[in-house]
Amino acid sequence: MASEQTYIFDPESSAELARLINQDRLVTAAMGGPLAGLPPLPKKAQVLDLACGPGGWVLDAAFERQDCEIAGVDISSAMIEYANARARTQQRSNASFGIMNITQPLDFTEHSFDLVNARFLMGVLRREVWPTFIAECLRILRPGGILRLTEGDDSGITSSLALETLNTLGIQALWQAGYGFSPNGRTFGMSSGLLGLLQNAGYQDVSLKATAMNNSAHTDGWADLYHDHRIMLTQFKPLLIQPGLITDEEFDRLYQQALVEMHADDFVAVGHLTSVWGRCPL
Q: How far is the CB of 267 from ligand SAM (least distance, A)?
A: 24
Q: Which is nearer to ligand SAM, 79 or 201 (CB)?
A: 79
Q: Which of 79, 147, 233, 246 binds ligand SAM (CB under 6 A)?
A: 79
User: Residues 73, 97: contact at Cβ < 8 Å?
Assistant: yes
Does position 22 interact with ligand SAM (CB under 6 A)? The reply is no
Q: Which is nearer to ligand SAM, 58 or 166 (CB)?
A: 58
Q: Which is nearer to ligand SAM, 24 or 136 (CB)?
A: 24
Q: Which of 35, 41, 45, 53 binds ligand SAM (CB under 6 A)?
A: 53
Q: Which is nearer to ligand SAM, 97 or 251 (CB)?
A: 97
- Reduce the secondary structure of the chain to three states and give it as a string: CCCCCCCCCCCCCHHHHHHHHHHHHHHHHHCCCCCCCCCCCCCCCEEEEECCCCCHHHHHHHHHCCCCEEEEEECCHHHHHHHHHHHHHCCCCCEEEEECCCCCCCCCCCCCEEEEEEECCCCCCCHHHHHHHHHHHHHHEEEEEEEEEEEECCCCEECCHHHHHHHHHHHHHHHHCCCCCCCCCCCCCHHHHHHHHHHHHCCEEEEEEEEEEECCCCCCCHHHHHHHHHHHHHHHHHHHHCCCCCCHHHHHHHHHHHHHHHCCCCCCEEEEEEEEEEECCC
Q: How far is the CB of 253 from ligand SAM (least distance, A)?
A: 27
Does position 180 interact with ligand SAM (CB under 6 A)? The reply is no
Using the contact rule CB under 6 A, the part of the chain among 68-76, 174-182, 212-220, 234-242 near ligand SAM is: 68-76
Does position 75 interact with ligand SAM (CB under 6 A)? The reply is yes
Does position 103 interact with ligand SAM (CB under 6 A)? The reply is yes
Does position 24 interact with ligand SAM (CB under 6 A)? The reply is yes
Does position 153 interact with ligand SAM (CB under 6 A)? The reply is no
Does position 52 interact with ligand SAM (CB under 6 A)? The reply is yes
Size of the site for ligand SAM (CB under 6 A): 20
What residue ranges bind ligand SAM (CB under 6 A)?
A: 7, 11, 20, 23-24, 51-53, 57, 74-76, 79, 100-103, 119-120, 124
